[in-house]
A and B are shown apart, each in its own frame.
Chain A
């Protein structure tokens, strides 16, 4: 797509960059609208109720109504707030979660940026969100916000370590840190996906249990990174009212909300890319019309949505952990397991 645009507008034209940026942004907004509605309906049906039913067919316009309401809200800045930090924080959070989309391959023809350090970049910018959350918590000048921000920083920093370890085990297998190349390495039938040991002979069967453990660890840590239940302690409503965004109203609040949902999809997309073949059709090239660039987008989003659904499922089933228990899970359970896992996978790759 980059090449195509450069042919039209010429090398280095500003329009190339603008148009390249648009698809993830448009996707993110539509996705957030759909996911908020889905969250309501999923939770409703799990809880023996109907959820929104009045706005459109089965309430599908509910999120539009919500956004309209949020737009009309008064924009309140608390008197005692640190104004600069308070105003800037939602945008920093949003930028952090949006930047991750630049390296996610939506199809073989589209990836926001072709830098070869894609995975590294995503891990780096997702930590950027922490800065925004800290700014919001400190700038609000509210004790609950401060608590939420402190918890969030502690949580994201400690959960990044196991995340990186399990991501590294896939990087070792694929021999690349470029997400597009990792996906291409999984081409063919679905048993070439890394969750099934990746491409290769029968020897990969030894690898499958370790990859499964990697995937589980990645999924748990991704819940923590996106502040979802059972790790939603930074915004634990029964303890901290709303955590770091307690004081925010209107569109500023909506930005936090949007970036939370954007983050949810980002981590699901990375799970799909690393373990489930990204945009690859499960049937590979055996059925060619299922592997066209547009169908690839479909496969990619469908795989992502499965994980989104599981996130919602967990959210409406499990209670919340406490801060110290959260740290315990990360430092004493996930990190040793992911580290040993990485060593074994590396050993396997060396001996193969």
Chain B
């Protein structure tokens, strides 16, 4: 009998694929359904943010930071505003710091809700996705109330904020916290501890801690591997050292430490921690003026700064060089999603095509930030 000839198959997953989270293209070399090699191709959404920024004044760059990680615009504004403030030596009023932290944590919940919902969608569960979006809507309403925008806020300015919080915001945020707590439990019952979901995600795409650190992974992707590292605790910025919260890490409850389920569940737990921060901050907001420290002309002295903050996706760093004029000489962004994406070729070997979808979802990339 002649031997059957088999050959490997190349499958281009994306950029137009329902579960590629934007316009990522994965070039998969397959043996049947087993992945032999995976090469991510990026750049379909490249908009030259860094080059654009050189032609803008400092405040004009803020709307561009919105458009990097469009699911966590507040966090992006936050990092940039602090970086420029540090460069100029501005101290912002206490009230501004509180409002910024509340907004950033609300944004973290909103972003994690999208991550969790779409992850459910990737594994075939449609309903949790809509539950997540229903809850996210409440947060977007709060943002809309504050600054008029629902997705791209341009809210945190250098030295202050674009608007003060409106009357009724504090009560509505309290209501949201009260409303959202039980919903996390419902979400866990429906999806996180579903037997089929665990079967699909536990022991899949295992990322050992050493590899995660070497690849520069950060955020839930790093913490999912059991590394207790969160910039809000380890290198506190703004007023995060005033609040009491925990860093959640993956413990391998359902499988091995660092599998997809761990990366997923870290996000669920983090929403709880964010609620804790919001609860503490909303009770302590001091009175004051939010725009007193906004400079008329943003013109940092000659120099450079690297400043990093913890966005929902991980460590977002801004490296800014100023030549003393009113526009930056150079801005370089260290995007968390870009670094996290780098682990995909490593973790995907030997798994199946269906697992590939689960792995991409668990890393939670936003292509707007990867390509910038």
Instruction: List chain A positions with a Cβ less than 8 A from chain B.
Output: 43, 46-49, 143, 147, 229-230, 232-233, 236-241, 316-325
In the complex, which of the residues A143, A316, A317, A322 has the most CB atoms of chain B within 10 Å of its own CB atom?
A322
In the assembled complex, B55 has its CB within 8 A of some CB on chain A? no
Closest-by-CB residue of A relative to B360 is A238
List residues of chain B with CB within 8 A of the CB of A238.
Answer: 18-19, 121-124, 357
Secondary structure call for the A interface: loop
In the assembled complex, B60 has its CB within 8 A of some CB on chain A? no
Q: Within B107-159, which residues are at the interface with A (CB < 8 Å)?
A: 120-127, 130-131, 134
Instruction: Kindly provide the distance from the CB of B77 to the nearest chain A CB, expressed in whole angstroms.
Output: 31
List residues of chain B with CB within 8 A of the CB of A143.
Answer: 9, 11
30 of the cross-chain contacts (CB-CB < 8 Å) are A43-B127, A47-B130, A48-B130, A143-B11, A233-B354, A237-B18, A238-B122, A238-B357, A239-B353, A239-B354, A239-B356, A240-B353, A241-B17, A316-B126, A317-B125, A317-B127, A318-B124, A318-B125, A318-B194, A319-B125, A319-B191, A319-B196, A319-B200, A320-B125, A321-B199, A322-B199, A322-B354, A323-B354, A325-B199, A325-B200
Select one of B17, B127, B194, B352 contacting A46, CB under 8 A: B127
Closest-by-CB residue of A relative to B196 is A319
Do B123 and A320 touch (CB < 8 A)?
A: yes
Instruction: Kindly provide the distance from the CB of A296 to the nearest chain B CB, expressed in whole angstroms.
Output: 36
In the complex, which of the residues A49, A239, A316, A320 has the most CB atoms of chain B within 10 Å of its own CB atom?
A239
In the assembled complex, B237 has its CB within 8 A of some CB on chain A? no
Do B124 and A48 touch (CB < 8 A)?
A: no
Secondary structure call for the B interface: helix
List residues of chain A with CB within 8 A of the CB of B127.
Answer: 43, 46-47, 316-317
Given A238-B123, A241-B17, A318-B124: 4 more A-B contacts, CB < 8 Å: A47-B131, A238-B357, A320-B200, A323-B352
Closest-by-CB residue of A relative to B198 is A319
A230 to B195, CA, bound (A): 12
Do B124 and A229 touch (CB < 8 A)?
A: yes
Please report the total number of B residues contacting A with Cβ < 8 Å: 30
List residues of chain B with CB within 8 A of the CB of A237.
Answer: 18-19
In the assembled complex, B70 has its CB within 8 A of some CB on chain A? no
Select one of B120, B190, B200 contacting A322, CB under 8 A: B200
A48 to B194, CA, bound (A): 20
A325 to B356, CA, bound (A): 16
List residues of chain B with CB within 8 A of the CB of A46.
Answer: 127
Closest-by-CB residue of A relative to B16 is A241
Do B357 and A319 touch (CB < 8 A)?
A: no
Closest-by-CB residue of A relative to B201 is A319
A46 to B134, CA, bound (A): 13
When A237-B18, A238-B19 are in contact, do A320 and B124 touch as well, CB less than 8 Å? yes
Closest-by-CB residue of B relative to A328 is B199
Select one of A47, A49, A321, A324 contacting B196, CB under 8 A: A321
In the assembled complex, B69 has its CB within 8 A of some CB on chain A? no
In the assembled complex, B180 has its CB within 8 A of some CB on chain A? no
Do B354 and A236 touch (CB < 8 A)?
A: yes
A48 to B355, CA, bound (A): 29
List residues of chain B with CB within 8 A of the CB of A317.
Answer: 125, 127, 190
Do B124 and A236 touch (CB < 8 A)?
A: yes
Select one of A47, A239, A319 contacting B194, CB under 8 A: A319
Report B341-358 CB contacts with A as 1/0, cut-off 8 Å: 000000000001111110
Do B17 and A321 touch (CB < 8 A)?
A: no
Do B194 and A323 touch (CB < 8 A)?
A: no
Select one of B19, B122, B196, B352 contacting A318, CB under 8 A: B196
Do A319 and B131 touch (CB < 8 A)?
A: no
Select one of A241, A319, A324 contacting B123, CB under 8 A: A319
When A143-B11, A239-B19, A318-B196 are in contact, do A323 and B33 touch as well, CB less than 8 Å? yes
A233 to B134, CA, bound (A): 27
Q: Within B66-115, which residues are at the interface with A (CB < 8 Å)?
A: none
Q: Within B194-229, which residues are at the interface with A (CB < 8 Å)?
A: 194, 196-197, 199-200
A318 to B197, CA, bound (A): 8
List residues of chain B with CB within 8 A of the CB of A318.
Answer: 124-125, 194, 196
Closest-by-CB residue of A relative to B361 is A238
Identify the 4 closest CB pairs spanning chains A and B, nearest first: A320-B124, A238-B19, A319-B125, A47-B130
A179 to B22, CA, bound (A): 51
A48 to B133, CA, bound (A): 11
List residues of chain B with CB within 8 A of the CB of A322.
Answer: 199-200, 352, 354-355
List residues of chain A with CB within 8 A of the CB of B134.
Answer: 48
List residues of chain A with CB within 8 A of the CB of B126.
Answer: 43, 47, 316
Instruction: Kindly provide the distance from the CB of A3 to the nearest chain B CB, expressed in whole angstroms.
Output: 49
Do B124 and A232 touch (CB < 8 A)?
A: yes
List residues of chain A with CB within 8 A of the CB of B355.
Answer: 322
A317 to B130, CA, bound (A): 12
Instruction: Kindly provide the distance from the CB of A212 to the nearest chain B CB, expressed in whole angstroms.
Output: 21
Instruction: Kindly provide the distance from the CB of B231 to the nearest chain A CB, expressed in whole angstroms.
Output: 32
Instruction: Kindly provide the distance from the CB of B133 to the nearest chain A CB, expressed in whole angstroms.
Output: 9
Instruction: Kindly provide the distance from the CB of B303 to the nearest chain A CB, expressed in whole angstroms.
Output: 48
List residues of chain B with CB within 8 A of the CB of A321.
Answer: 196, 199-200
Do A239 and B130 touch (CB < 8 A)?
A: no
A318 to B124, CA, bound (A): 7
Do A49 and B18 touch (CB < 8 A)?
A: no
Instruction: Kindly provide the distance from the CB of A224 to the nearest chain B CB, expressed in whole angstroms.
Output: 14
Closest-by-CB residue of A relative to B191 is A319
List residues of chain A with CB within 8 A of the CB of B121.
Answer: 238
A143 to B199, CA, bound (A): 26
Instruction: Kindly provide the distance from the CB of B346 to the nearest chain A CB, expressed in whole angstroms.
Output: 21
